[in-house]
Amino acid sequence: TSSSTSSSSSSRELYPGHVQLTPLQRAMLVVGGGLGAILFPQRADLVGAVGETTGHLAFRRMRDRMRRDAVGADILRRRPRVTDDTLERAWGCADGTFGKAYATFMGTRKFRASDRPPVRFVDDEELAYVATRARETHDLWHVLFGCPTTVQGELALKALEFAQTGMPSAALATLAAPLRLDEEDRAFLAKELYPWAWRAGGRCADLMCADYEAEFDTDLEELRAKWRITPAPKAPKRKPRKTYP
């Protein structure tokens, strides 16, 4: 009876959707999910699962920084979520504002805020919220830093994410996924985008302590200046490929 009670207690659901893994299951998910995320970076569920199973220390560091910051502590207390209702509100913002830029970014790509998979494998309820906040604000980072949703743009943002958060999954993506690019794109990524990401991630405000929703009506350029954000360099126009008769 004692052992069954202990087993039941250890596998209890800490928050809606939580799945507690055994060490073996966690290791298998890290390896299998890691390979899948590299081969299919568009699979947000695989990318997210690797982040959740390898990011415990990074989530703790982010949580601790948030606790020490007035805005971050308020976010932890209120636990705002970026939802389809948030996106709907952004559509009502004036042209040139952060909110309207976010709505346009999502609309032109037919993205929805609810498309992102929920956090499931973080074995701490507060850290699960930290992971959720990081995941749900990813598209807002795209807008702030002007990163396209190409493989190149996603990898640049992953490098910046690593500079900001120290997430191991972000480092894995920046090291392995460039193999999927051609030589010209890899060169621009290595020589321009990765150095930019490291500098920009270290220079800007702590984005886990940013109240994005409160700034929807702020002019985008003013907000970038306020948070010391340097937009990503634009990829050069590709040279036309030689064709042969």
pLDDT for 2 equals 42
Q: Which two tokens stand for residue 90?
A: 């952004």
pLDDT for 62 equals 98
pLDDT for 11 equals 61
Rounded-to-10 torsion of CA 215, 70, 81, 119: 130
* Cα separation, 239 vs 69, whole angstroms: 47
pLDDT for 40 equals 67
Q: Any long-range contacts for 236-244 (C-beta under 8 Å, 24+ apart)? A: 236/188, 238/184
The whole model's pTM is what? 0.85
* Cα separation, 140 vs 87, whole angstroms: 11
The residue type of 133 is R
* Cα separation, 77 vs 86, whole angstroms: 19
Sorted by sequence, the CB contacts under 8 Å of residue 88 that are 6+ apart come out as none
Query: pLDDT tens digits, the chain, 245 residues: what are they?
Result: 444 443 443 467 899 999 998 888 888 888 887 777 666 665 667 777 888 888 999 999 999 999 999 999 999 999 999 999 999 999 999 999 999 999 999 999 999 999 989 999 999 999 999 999 999 999 999 999 999 999 899 999 999 999 999 999 888 888 877 877 899 999 999 999 999 999 999 999 999 999 999 999 999 999 999 999 999 999 888 665 444 34
CB 117 within 8 A of CB 7: no
Cα within 13 Å of Cα(162), Cβ side: 19
